[in-house]
A = this chain, B = another copy of it.
Amino acid sequence: MNQRELKNLLAAVQEGSLDIEGALERLRDLPFEDIGVAMIDHHRELRHGAPEIILGERKSGPQLEAIITTMAGRGGNILVTRLDAEKAAALCGLFPAAQYDSEARTLTLIQEEIIPRGRGPVAVVAAGTSDIPVAREATITLRMLGHQVDEVIDVGVAGIHRLFARAQILHRAAVVIVVAGMEGALPSVVGGMIKTPLIAVPTSVGYGTSFGGVAALLGMLNSCASGITVVNIDNGFGAAYAAHRINIQGSE
């Protein structure tokens, strides 16, 4: 039940064509869905000009095709994350305007101009070259959401001077995302340098006792730098979305 339907119901009460009991009956069953729709409306408003986002993982090719076809028909932009190359190739055949980034494993279909948003650029910092896929997922997500992104790559703590050389980029960012595998120490160092919101992303880069990113995750959760927050291992998308939540505050 949307606002128009609600208005009609009230008008019917006003006109006398619906008595109070009948109206009550309908309103008592006011489906949560409608409240939900209201919530979705807020979301829709929020997402204006923003992409539909689809988690590609664990969806079959036909499922993805069906979903994207429906969504693309609405004319908006589409972002598919965690999409493997094989399914991407098939989808690119069907949607020639779509672009697949094999590092980030994202497919993007841009059908309308992305409206810039956010109070400032988001810096996406990757400790090593192996962390780039996760960083790229964050970058692409942010750009699809309208944010400006500055990428800083290969500034691991074992060569800390490389990081310091990029300090300006960090200082001018509105939000900083730090992506690191292995010991996950980079966010601690960056967090001590800046007062900006910082989102740390552990990656599964490493072997043996990296335990698929757990070492990096624990490093970040136990950071001695105050006020660092963390997302799931390899969750570049989640970090980007968290940065989006922060960066749109006060700007729209």
Q: Which of A's residues lie within 8 Å of B, judged by CB?
A: 3, 6-7, 10-11, 13-14, 16, 19-20, 23-24, 27-33, 35-40, 42-43, 46, 53, 57-59, 63, 119, 127-130, 156-165, 167-168, 174-175, 182-185, 188-189, 191-193, 195-199, 202, 204-235, 237-246, 248-251
17 A-B pairs within 8 Å (CB atoms) are namely A36-B159, A43-B195, A127-B224, A157-B192, A157-B225, A160-B193, A175-B249, A207-B234, A208-B232, A210-B218, A215-B218, A217-B221, A218-B219, A226-B238, A227-B242, A228-B242, A229-B242
Bound CA–CA A204/B63 (angstroms): 20
Counting every copy of the chain, the complex holds: 8
What residues of chain B lie closer than 8 Å to A244, measured between beta carbons? Answer: 227
Bound CA–CA A197/B213 (angstroms): 25
Given the interface contacts A33-B162, A160-B36, A189-B160, does A221 sit within 8 Å of B245 by beta carbon?
A: no
